């Protein structure tokens, strides 16, 4: 006598998707609850006001300019040669013994990258630490 109504003795395995969906749903809820969202853009602050900073003296920075052809200018004086030694000597004449002065490096966008690296090398050898590279804001299109 055959019981089972024509079904074979081996049942097909099934993956219980309801349990899988429950686990994934719990993970999504956990991640949403524990995630911190950036709400800084919604803050409205009234910042405190202050006058001019109380600095004892305003120090003029050492300015190094590099034009499109790779010529160096320390302040308003042109450096005769384009090597590190000449540039280092010009910076020493301009800054003296003060290595705490800020330095502003302005390079033409068309100047060679090597010219900028040479200027940074000279400043590093002299021990300057406050070096800024001047940029201009991008024009709106």
**Rounded to 5°, angle at Cα 100 from 74 and 88:** 35
Q: pLDDT grade, residue 47 (50/70/90)?
A: low
Task: Tell me the pTM.
Answer: 0.56
- Residue 97 lies inside a defined structural domain of this protein: yes
Total domains in the fold of the chain? 1
- Residue 67 lies inside a defined structural domain of this protein: yes
**Rounded to 5°, angle at Cα 5 from 3 and 6:** 105
Angle, in degrees to the nearest 10, between helices 113-126 and 84-95: 50
| Rounded distance between C-alpha atoms, residue 82 and residue 66, angstroms | 10
Domain holding 68, by residue range, is: 62-133
According to DSSP, the residues that pair with 74 across neighbouring strands are: 64, 77
Q: Closest by alpha carbon to 103, among 123, 125, 81, 79?
A: 123
- Residue 18 lies inside a defined structural domain of this protein: no
- Residue 74 lies inside a defined structural domain of this protein: yes
Residue written as tokens 């290595």?
A: 99
The 10s digit of each residue's pLDDT in 51-110 is 655 555 667 888 898 888 888 999 888 888 888 899 999 999 888 888 888 898 988 888
- Residue 92 lies inside a defined structural domain of this protein: yes
Neighbours of 101 (CB within 10 A): 16
CATH of the domain at 124: 3.30.420.270
Q: What is the DSSP letter of 41?
A: G
- Residue 95 lies inside a defined structural domain of this protein: yes
């Amino acid at each position: 006598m055959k019981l089972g109504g024509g079904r074979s003795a081996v049942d097909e395995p099934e993956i219980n998707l309801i349990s899988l969906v429950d686990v994934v749903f719990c993970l999504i809820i956990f991640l949403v609850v524990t995630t911190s969202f950036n709400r800084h853009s919604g803050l409205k602050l009234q910042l405190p006001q202050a006058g001019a900073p109380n600095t004892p003296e305003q120090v003029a920075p050492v300015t190094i300019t590099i034009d499109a052809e790779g010529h160096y200018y320390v302040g308003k004086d042109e450096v005769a040669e384009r090597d590190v030694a000449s540039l280092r000597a010009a910076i020493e004449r301009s800054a003296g013994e003060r290595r705490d002065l800020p330095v502003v490096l302005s390079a033409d966008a068309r100047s060679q990258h090597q010219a900028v690296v040479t200027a940074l090398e000279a400043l590093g050898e002299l021990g300057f630490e406050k070096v800024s590279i001047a940029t201009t804001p991008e024009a709106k299109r």
